[in-house]
Amino acid sequence: MRRNVRLLVHQVRAQNRFFWRVPVGAFFTLILPILMLVLFVALFGNDLDFDGPAGASVSAAQFYTPALAVFAVGSATYTNIAINLSTRREDGILRRVRGTPLPPWIYMAGAILSSVWIALVSAAIMVTLGVIAYDVNIELAKVPAMIVTFAVGSATFATLGVALAGVARSASSASALANATILPMAFISNIFIDLGADPPRWLRVTADVLPLKYFGVAFSEAMNPWSDAPAFVPDRLGVMALWLVVGALIARWRFRWDPIPGSTGCSARRGRRSAS
Amino acid sequence: MTAAIEVRDLVKTYGDTRAVDGLSFSVEEGEVFAILGPNGAGKSTTVEILEGHRPRTGGDVTVLGVDPGSAGSGFRDRLGIVLQSAGIDRELTVREVLEYYRTAYSRPRDVNELIELVELGEKADDRVGTLSGGQQRRVDLALGLVGDPDLIFLDEPTTGFDPAARRRSWDLIRNLTSLGRTIVLTTHYLDEAETLADRVAVLAGGRIVAEGTPSALRESLGEGTRISFELPAVDEPLNALLDPLRGTSRGRDRRIEITTDAPTADLAHITAWATSRGIELAGLQVTSTELEDVYLDLVGEDA
Ligand SMILES: Nc1ncnc2c1ncn2[C@@H]1O[C@H](COP(=O)(O)OP(=O)(O)O)[C@@H](O)[C@H]1O
Ligand SMILES: [Mg+2]
């Protein structure tokens, strides 16, 4: 038990180090959503013309800060894990790990927890920036609900990332699939744009069965000064938790540690071996 | 001595391919065992089954007293695996990579010692991604040793190396054997198997075609004479020339090669056949065969 905890802590630390060692990845995960916040607020001004939850009008910053915080959490977990795991599988690193005494679940838990940590950092940066630079409101009473939502939401998207790495055959297809799923989902889930009171029915239904919308709603509720609605709604968490279970089942069924024959392997990447 | 590895009737199929087709062998503790064979012979498949990396189709396998197909992390704690190709976390330095992997083992080796051992002292703080292929292979080797293993698998450890680098790796591997570790090594270089191994199994088409100590292999297979000449330009079939020979013959590159234990008799027959037809056999050579030739004959490869 104590040994496993020690190994897990070590894994999380190492995975974090991997993350920071690849600046492009860190940029996309951390900086891009912040850049979007700055851009959107500049474009739309800070007037009260966005539909907040419960019919209230809110400023662009009040709308986008929680929404993009949630988007940042999504890319730090879902996109990041899908790309990382499939790249490491393709390179044969996961196969190497499987040959060591490290229990595979600890490796996996390490990857998930480290991405949740990065998600926490990016959400915190986003919210802090909104509060300090754009006068965004935050309801202290709802912060505990926000934390619970974050925990469930980030665990869900991290698990879905593992599932996607299980489904994708190569790192490049994992990366394409991650973007091809999370970006449209963000568009229909009130993350990038305010869909207004009545979007087309099929869009709404699609968004209703997917997990991202609930994550976004719960976050904006927690920061919305005019809403009496509680940030903590078991139904919303329930939908996310359902997706967590679905993701876990797909991951269990499809995830492989060995490189998939036919996908570009480490030999191609590392070039011909020659002695030195 | 007790057996570190015991393999009986091992079979592995991929679809219709019988990659490993009924192998039986055992490896004693402290022994260096080489599996020698050309590409596609089934070497990697065999060692990866022994490592627990691949499931087998049939047969019994015991490694360090357990079945690798169902063994847990206690088994892998005693194992050092150097795969034929496996990536290394490129974004870490050599030192960091060794520190990262060593924590999983119950008897981790000292990182500085390992770096010295594989002669990467100058590169210790460089990122793995910036190293040459040969240097990365030495990191591979260091990672195989990081848990101070009782049993080490080396799958083609020196393939692609230049001769000097190969020799340095051989010294390193010999060092390991002097510490009493059991080593299973695959290679397609005959000289590598001969130099390093206590015992060699020659693998071709998923079967063991010869097995023994290098000197026994040399004795049982290696002594022989090769007679060769250019394909004579005659209108008749060559049966009258080839059929009565005691040795085995084959055509290669417009030459006929005969490998024989009875060179005098066979040579007499060949020259009689040629003189009776008034032919001069161009490029006639009589040489003693090298182990290399015997090996190539065994595995059915043209050099
Ligand atoms: N994962 C696999 N799927 C299908 N065929 C395979 C696989 N791995 C190896 N083979 C086939 O099995 C045979 C033996 O391969 P391998 O064990 O890699 O040989 P070696 O290591 O001696 O070069 C080859 O014909 C190879 O194509
Ligand atoms: Mg091989």
Ligand 2 center from residue B156 Cα (angstroms): 7
Residue A171 included in any domain:
yes
What is the per-residue pLDDT for A247? 96
| Most B CBs within 10 Å, among A9, A96, A256, A257, to test the B interface | A96
CA atoms in the 13 A half-sphere facing the CB of B167:
3
Residue A266 located in a structural domain? no
Q: Residue A61: is its pLDDT beyond 70?
A: yes
| Closest Cα to atom 8 of ligand 1 | B45
Residue A246 domain-assigned (yes or no): yes
User: Are A101 and B76 in contact (CB < 8 Å)?
Assistant: yes
B91-104 pLDDT, tens per residue?
999 999 999 999 99
CA of B37, closest atom in ligand 1: 22
Which pLDDT score is estimated for B1? Answer: 54
Q: Which of A77-81, A188-192, B7-11 has the lowest mean pLDDT?
A: A188-192
- ipTM field: 0.84
Mean pLDDT of A75-82: 95
Chain A to chain B Cβ contacts (< 8 Å)? 100
Spatial contact of B148 and B105, defined as CB atoms under 8 Å apart: yes
Torsion sign over Cα A142, A146, A152, A153: positive
B14: Cβ below 6 Å to ligand 1?
A: yes
Residue B8's pLDDT band (cuts 50, 70, 90) = very high
What are the pLDDT digits (tens) for A170-179? 999 999 999 9
Residue predicted with more confidence, B165 or A250: A250
> Which of B76, B93, B123, B127 has the most A C-beta neighbours within 10 Å, making it the best mutation to test the interface with A?
B76
Residue closest by Cα to atom 1 of ligand 1: A261
**Residue from A200, A247, A241, A249 nearest A218 by CA:** A241
For the segment B175-186, what is each residue's pLDDT rounded down to a tens digit?
A: 888 878 999 999
Q: Would residue A135 be called left, alpha or beta, if left means φ above 0 and alpha means ψ between -120 and 50 degrees?
A: left
Q: What is the pLDDT of residue A263?
A: 64
Residues 6+ apart with CB under 8 A from A43: A60
CA distance B181 to B113: 17
User: Please, where in chain B does CATH 3.30.70 lie?
Assistant: 221-289
Check CB contact under 8 Å for A95 and B104. no
Contacting residues for A172 by C-beta, under 8 A, at least 6 apart = none
In a domain? residue A271: no
Give pLDDT tens digits for A229-241: 666 778 888 999 9
- Asked whether residue A41 is assigned to any structural domain, the reply reads yes
Confidence of residue A276 (pLDDT cuts 50, 70, 90): very low
Domain of residue A129 covers 2-254
SS (H, E, C) chain B: CCEEEEEEEEEEEECCEEEEEEEEEEEECCCEEEEECCCCCCHHHHHHHHHCCCCCCEEEEEECCECCCCCCHHHHCCEEEECCCCCCCCCCEHHHHHHHHHCCCCCCCCHHHHHHHCCCHHHCCCEHHHCCHHHHHHHHHHHHHCCCCCEEEEECCCCCCCHHHHHHHHHHHHHHHHCCCEEEEEECCHHHHHHHCCEEEEEECCEEEEEECHHHHHHHHHCCEEEEEECCCCCCCCHHHHCCCCCEEEEECCEEEEEECCHHHHHHHHHHHHHHCCCCCCCCEEEECCHHHHHHHHHCCCC
Domain B221-289 has CATH 3.30.70: yes
Q: Is B59 exposed, middle or buried (CB count within 10 Å of its CB: 0-12, 13-18, 19+)? A: middle
* For residue A64, pLDDT beyond 60: yes
Facing residue for A266 by CB, picked from B51, B74, B86: B86
Q: Cβ separation of A100 and B105 shorter than 8 Å?
A: yes
Asked if A160 and A185 count as a contact pair (C-beta separation under 8 A), the reply is no
A23–chain B nearest CA distance, Å: 11
What is the domain count for chain A?
Answer: 1
**Which of A102, A265, A273 is closest, CB to CB, to B134?**
A273
Q: State the smallest CA–CA distance between residue A6 and chain B in angstroms.
A: 9
* CATH architecture for residues B3-219: 3-Layer(aba) Sandwich (3.40)
Q: What mean pLDDT comes out for the span A53-75?
A: 85
| Cα dihedral sign, A187-A191-A196-A201 | positive
Q: Are B146 and B108 in contact (CB under 8 A)?
A: yes
Asked whether B97 and B139 are in contact (CB, 8 A), the reply is: yes
The per-residue pLDDT for range B260-282, each reduced to its tens digit, is: 888 899 999 999 999 999 989 99
Residues above pLDDT 90, as percent of chain B: 58
With cut-offs at 50, 70 and 90, classify the pLDDT of residue A5: very high
pLDDT of A266 higher than 60: no
Q: What is the CA radius of gyration of chain A?
A: 20
Nearest Cα neighbor of B181 from B86, B64, B99, B70 is: B64
Q: Return the bridge partners of A1, or none.
A: none
